[in-house]
Amino acid sequence: MDIELVKFMFILTVMSLYLNFAITLYGVVAKVNLVKKLIALTILQDTVNVFTVLIGYRLWRPGLILQPPALTDMNPTPEIIKDFVERSVDPLPQAFVLTAIVIGLAVTLFLTTIVLHVNYHFKTVNVDEIGGMKRRYIHEEAV
Amino acid sequence: MNDLSVGLTTVLPTVVAFLLPLLTLRFKSRALYASITTATTLAVWLLTLVNFMKVFKGEVLTYAFGGWPPPLGIVYVVDMLNGVLGFLAATLFLLASVYTFWYFGRIESGHEWLSTLTLVLLSGVLGCLYTGDLFNFFVMLEVLSISSYALVAFFRRRKWAIEASMAYSFIGALATMLFFFGVIFIYASFGTVNMADLITKAHAIPELGSNPLERWSGTCPGSWCYGNVFISSALAIAFMLWALNFEAGIFPNNYWMPSAYAESPTPASALFAGIVDKVGTYGVLRLFITVFTAYGSTLMFSVGGFPFRDFVLIVLSTLGLVTGYLGALLMFPQRNVKRLLTYSTISHIGIIFTAFSAFLSHVSPEASAEALAGVMLHMVTHAFGEFLLFVGLGTLSVVVGSTNLARMSGLRGRYPLLIASIILGFLSLLGVIPLAGFFSKYVIFTALINAGLPVHGISIVLISGISALGYFKVIYTLMVSEGSGVTPRETRLYIPTGITVLLAALLIILGVLLTQSSFINPLMEHSRELMSVNGLLKYVDAVNNLSTLLGGA
């Protein structure tokens, strides 16, 4: 394997995640259908989560043996631990992602319920129509 | 060192909140839920009081969850800034839970859920305030946000409550996700999310010259960390500030506030205006005063000969000015009292953000410290005033069965004490001399003048002047207008009147105390320390001592 190729693929992954992020951000803000907004938001959450996992990635470099890093020694010396840490991915971002996924589940559940209630009350999930109704309501309240 | 009084504050309400819904299987009594909420918030209030007493003596309290030595685990750090706000939050939550004894009699159902959500909100607010870990800040911000969304949608049979919650929650979920994205940038470039560790790392960049802060948990060797720390600090700040501004309700992000505050149940809207919007403000303060300071932090890289941190602060304070004027101008035409009070909240948060211009790097530390003292004072006085008004006018709107201001006229003979304390609350927000609201605005004003920012200083006076129109409209309706012919349903309002009178008395007492130099000098001393390098070192040392105590490196 070539180090240049690995670096190129790494940059490509990061860039495609940024692109995904931008598209979903546009989707959440600009789409008028609440269900489409919700879908865009879940994709945005997943993009951020994948990006977080990517943060823990150690860039491959020539001379690094490609095998799953595992501590086989029951009483490791500091050198073995150092060598292990050099090769293994960072576990902390994965812990972040687990937490963020659970939180994302709660948020998504809440948003789904709210969309259901919105549909029940307004008979539509189009935010432009709801906004028009709201303007009339505010106008009536103020006059 | 490992102070349990810090750690218990968030754990206790969460545990009780999750046990409360189980009680519904056996008990239906409203008073039971109100009692449990009050007992829990009272316990939390006592804990925060202990914390506040300790930090006022100059200590920095720390608590490491699970006994992991920082920077490995989650650590809570309480210094003067969040000690004051934590105590304020617990006080308001205690008053709100006492208020539910009265309020639960006026709603048909959902008492147990209002109690549960209030306790979860308490946990989220205190977690955001006390945490010394950016990822935990994100988690607690989500706890706070989700309970707020649910509280806004509490009256789920009212369609505008659902609409308000929808407008809040969709963009709120986006904002908190972006906060997480910002935290990830910080972790990727600094290798830590612990604030004390981040302080030492953000200040230990050789290009910025020598500084008194030393590296603590080592550096990122070779391929371990990515990219340019300056750009990633700037990106992280950009993402995180949007989420915090959304929570605080700063200009482009304040569209959700009026509906959300107007449609939520009265104790919840009082808490939102009192403390929840302060959490976003606190986050911005913490980022700019403790983490990315003017003392050679990574955010001080220059863009065209101008430090980037100053650029961000100028943008923030300009947005604060716009928010202040906007809130004050939009307050007058409102006829819904809760909506009017929300615009008042927006304008006051704008005033607080305007004061951030005094944290620019070229301003003298003395003026910055004065501005910080002013911001802290204004958070307290505004929280008391706005809480009083939301409770008072919310009670009146329940009594007359409408939030329309015109229907609240002619009640002065019936509830003299309640109306009198509401008027004191308005006068305090306006900044009338013997009340506490005047002194907090005055401290911010003098700090901005001393910092050489007369436009910002005079704007605070102008914003107060414009908002006087809205305030006097309500005072006129309550005091002068003839009755609208509405017969109130109730004659006795012991609990709401007690709370509003207590808060009005607090505003007067605080106002009198603030004229005493023996009260204002320790406060100035504390804010001077918070703004100085010594304060940063104290913050880092407290966490470092805890780390050694627990057997960390």
CATH of the domain at A51: 1.10.287.3510
Residue A7 has what pLDDT? Answer: 81
pLDDT at residue B204, rounded to an integer: 64
Parallel, antiparallel, or unpaired: how do β-strands B75-78 and B306-307 relate?
A: unpaired
Which secondary structure element, helix H or strand E, spans residue B519, and what is its range?
helix B517-531
CB proximity list for B58: less than 8 A, separation 6 or greater: B526, B529
Q: What is the pTM of this model?
A: 0.92
- Residue at B178 is within a domain: no
Residue B205 tokens read as: 């960049």
The count of domains in chain A is: 1
**Burial group, residue B54, by CB count within 10 angstroms (0-12, 13-18, 19+):** middle
A45 versus B221: the higher-pLDDT residue is A45
Structural domain range at position A110:
3-64+82-142
Higher local confidence (pLDDT), A88 or A25: A25
| Closest partner CB to B162 (pick from A29, A58, A121) | A121
Whether residue B95 contacts residue B122, with contact meaning beta carbons closer than 8 Å, is answered with no
Task: Report helix angle B277-285 to B365-400, nearest 10.
Answer: 170
Distance CA A41, CA B173 (A): 8
The angle formed by the CA atoms of residues A122, A126 and A127, to the nearest 5 degrees, is 90
- How many residue pairs from chains A and B have C-beta atoms closer than 8 A? 91
The answer on pLDDT for A50 being more than 90 is: yes
* DSSP type of residue B333: T
Does ipTM surpass 0.85 in this model? yes
A86 within some domain: yes
Residue B177 lies in a domain: no
Residue B93 domain-assigned? no
Q: Which of A117, A122, A130 is the mutation pick for testing B, counting most B CBs within 10 A?
A: A117
As given in the structure block, the two tokens for residue B67 are 């006994």
* B215 Rama class: left (phi>0) / alpha (psi -120 to 50) / beta: beta
Q: Among A44, A99, A118, whose Cβ lies nearest the Cβ of B163?
A: A118
Residue A33's beta-bridge partner residues?
Answer: A126
pLDDT at site A104:
92
How does residue A66 score in pLDDT terms, banded at 50, 70 and 90?
Answer: low
pLDDT on residue B152: 93
User: In this structure, how many other beta carbons lie within 10 angstroms of the beta carbon of residue B137?
Assistant: 26
Give per-10-residue mean pLDDT for chain B (553 aa). Answer: 83 91 83 90 94 90 87 89 92 93 85 90 93 92 94 90 92 93 88 85 57 49 61 89 91 88 92 92 91 80 83 92 92 88 93 91 88 92 93 89 81 84 91 87 91 90 91 87 68 86 91 86 88 84 84 67
Residue B129 identity (one-letter amino acid): L
Residue B310 in tokens: 């100053």
Higher pLDDT, B340 or A88: B340
Interface test with A, best of B166, B194, B240 (most A CBs within 10 A): B166
pLDDT of residue A61: 64
Q: Which residues of B touch A (CB under 8 A)?
A: 135, 139, 142, 146, 149-150, 153, 156, 159-160, 162-163, 165-166, 169-171, 173-174, 176-177, 180-181, 183-184, 187-188, 223-224, 226, 259, 333-336, 404
Number of domains in chain B: 1
Report yes or no on A100 lying in a domain. yes
Q: How far is B543 from chain A (nearest CA, A)?
A: 20
Angle of helix B416-430 relative to helix B365-400, nearest 10 degrees? 150
| Token code pair at residue B188 | 């990727």
Does some domain include residue A73? Answer: no
**Alpha-carbon dihedral B221, B224, B228, B234, rounded to 10 degrees:** -120
> Which one of B68, B163, B178, B194 makes the best mutation probe of the A interface by having the most chain A beta carbons within 10 Å?
B163
Using the 8-state DSSP alphabet, how is residue B25 labeled? T
In which domain, by residue range, is B334 found? 329-515
Q: How far is the alpha carbon of B201 from chain A, nearest alpha carbon, in Å?
A: 18
A110 interfacial to chain B (CB closer than 8 Å): yes
Interface contact A89, partner B, CB < 8 A: no
Residue B207's pLDDT is what?
A: 44
Assess if residue A28 is contained within a domain: yes
In a domain, A71, yes or no: no
Residue in chain B nearest A46 by alpha carbon: B177
The pLDDT assigned to B213 comes to 47
* Residue A69 within a domain: no
Q: Percentage of chain A with pLDDT > 70?
A: 90
- Confidence at residue A49, expressed as pLDDT on a 0 to 100 scale: 93
Tell which residue, B201, B285, B300, B204, has the closest CA to residue B531: B285
Nearest in space to B249 (alpha carbons), one of B329, B324, B179: B324
- Where b means 16+ CB within 10 Å and e means fewer, B237-264 reads bebbbbbbbbbbbbbebbebbbbbbbbb
